[in-house]
A and B are shown apart, each in its own frame.
Chain A
Amino acid sequence: MYKLINDPITGKLACIQKLSNNVFIPINENNTDYQAYLKWVAEGNQPEPAQ
């Protein structure tokens, strides 16, 4: 499961948090964690929204 994390000041999406291991993933297609996140979304999953 993943969660969107916004910048607290700008409110814009800053990163993706993987909740199972508390890893914060940049929005970057060369990052393998982000690649795994995109694959997870492509499988029909949805991240938790930012708070």
Chain B
Amino acid sequence: MAYGTVNADVIGTSVAGSNLGAGDASLMKNRIINGAMQISQRNGTSTVTPALYDYTIDRWQTQVTQSGKYTLAQSTSAPAGFPNSMLITSTSAYSITTTDCFDEKQYIEGFNCYDLAWGTANAKTVTLSFWVQSSLTGTFGGAIQNASGNRSYPFSYTISSANTWTQASVTISGDTTGTWMSSNNSVGMAVLFGLGVGSTLSNTAGAWAAGDYRSSTGATSVVGTNGATFYITGVQLEVGSSATGFEYRQYGQELALCQRYFQQFGGTATYEYIGDCICASSTSAYAGISLVTTMRAAPSFSYTGVASDFTTDAGNTNTQCTALALNEAAVNKVRLTLTTSGLTTSSYRTFLTYSGQTSKVQFSAEL
């Protein structure tokens, strides 16, 4: 019986006409996480106006030099076979300056791309593919960059028909120079999609350049047209010289991949259990929280709403918090300091959301 054979881009099997790479089996070939825009822990389907460095749909970060020029939402408009897309809607007709930059990008962790061997003579060729739709037509742009932003590969793609899903694909010969990824938990590379990038930050498409270039010269500015829409989904970055079928991962698998960088508790019910706490004084308690998956690094802590949206509960009595803070963080667990009142030192309580509140505690270890 013949077993699988490895070709350049696909894995052939003994079953006639069956190729794992050309099919949609999960081989972890896609270096992009949440390329199908399915996971949106922070905002769900709500429309937001992202500020500089905000994370919106999981793993996707906003880079804007001017705030309030577009809104962003997880959309259910998507090409066949995809559940969601990222929807950008321009909120004005903004004329970008030479140094302006509006883009959505994803940092890829070094652990997840070091095998590309970029920055060496053995640099591998990759293909970036994605589905896009826009109310605008023309040439659009984006870029791949190293962590320092001093090696850039601007790319371009064309949307010929307005409001029609189009698949684009860009094949990129790996960079043999520059400083690139290491096998660690730092930034390995970045993939950017331009929504309006000034000439200073743009360069010729299809070639590596030393410098910070985030899109291709002359690319369409989405933020330049009031009400313009831009959808993107099915983003895949894979080794090889041609695009293969989008890698479908199970939902729980994709969510866990996202939770390495961001996870949250609460938000779905009142008096929702978050963790246990030990009272250290009459006004302070330490709450321990086990993270649902090991995070990339010890996470930062934040919470939605206000401190009084959370409470410590002793079974038949609870006292709302007046302050929350991070006390200690590791990659798989955290301890918070809860400030409240009426506690009995050395007694145990539970840490809950308060009555009528659906606020969340959030942990971020984004790149």
Please list the residues of chain A having a beta carbon within 8 angstroms of any beta carbon in chain B: 5, 7-9, 14-15, 17, 21-26, 28, 30-34
Q: Known contacts A8-B280, A8-B337, A9-B284: does B298 contact A24 (CB below 8 Å)? A: no
Instruction: In the complex, identify which listed stretch (B137-145, B241-249, B266-274, B323-331) lies at the interface while the others stay far away.
Output: B323-331
Q: Which single residue of chain B is at the shortest CB-CB distance from A28?
A: B298
* CB of B112 to closest CB in A, whole Å: 16
Beyond the given A8-B280, A26-B298, A26-B326, please list 20 additional residue pairs across the A-B interface where CB-CB is below 8 A.
Answer: A5-B325, A5-B326, A7-B327, A14-B325, A14-B328, A14-B337, A15-B326, A15-B327, A21-B302, A23-B300, A23-B301, A23-B302, A24-B326, A28-B298, A28-B329, A30-B185, A31-B298, A31-B299, A32-B367, A33-B364
What are the residues of chain B within 8 A of A33 when measuring CB–CB?
300, 364
Q: Are B297 and A28 in contact (CB under 8 A)?
A: yes
* CB of A35 to closest CB in B, whole Å: 10
* CB of A31 to closest CB in B, whole Å: 5
Partner of B302, one of A8, A22, A26: A22
Could you give, for residues 318-341 of chain B, a 1 whenever the CB lies within 8 Å of some chain A CB and a 0 otherwise?
A: 000000011111000000010100
* CB of A15 to closest CB in B, whole Å: 4
B interface, how many residues as a size bin? 20 to 34
What are the residues of chain A within 8 A of B302 when measuring CB–CB?
21-24
* CB of A13 to closest CB in B, whole Å: 11
Q: Known contacts A8-B280, A17-B325: does B296 contact A30 (CB below 8 Å)? A: yes
CA distance A5 to B281 in the complex (A): 17
Q: Known contacts A8-B284, A9-B280, A14-B337: does B326 contact A30 (CB below 8 Å)? A: no
Could you give, for residues 294-325 of chain B, a 1 whenever the CB lies within 8 Å of some chain A CB and a 0 otherwise?
A: 00111111110000000000000000000001
* CB of B54 to closest CB in A, whole Å: 10
What are the residues of chain B within 8 A of A5 when measuring CB–CB?
325-326
> Is B366 part of the binding interface, using a Cβ–Cβ cutoff of 8 Å?
yes
Q: Which single residue of chain A is at the shortest CB-CB distance from B328?
A: A14
What are the residues of chain A within 8 A of B327 when measuring CB–CB?
7, 14-15
Q: List 9 A–B pairs whose Cβ atoms lie within 8 Å, in order of A's numbering.
A: A14-B325, A14-B326, A23-B301, A25-B326, A26-B298, A28-B298, A30-B296, A31-B299, A32-B297
Partner of B281, one of A8, A26, A30, A31: A8
> Is B123 part of the binding interface, using a Cβ–Cβ cutoff of 8 Å?
no
Q: Are A7 and B337 in contact (CB under 8 A)?
A: yes
> Is B365 part of the binding interface, using a Cβ–Cβ cutoff of 8 Å?
yes
CA distance A3 to B340 in the complex (A): 21
* CB of A5 to closest CB in B, whole Å: 5
What are the residues of chain A within 8 A of B326 when measuring CB–CB?
5, 14-15, 24-26
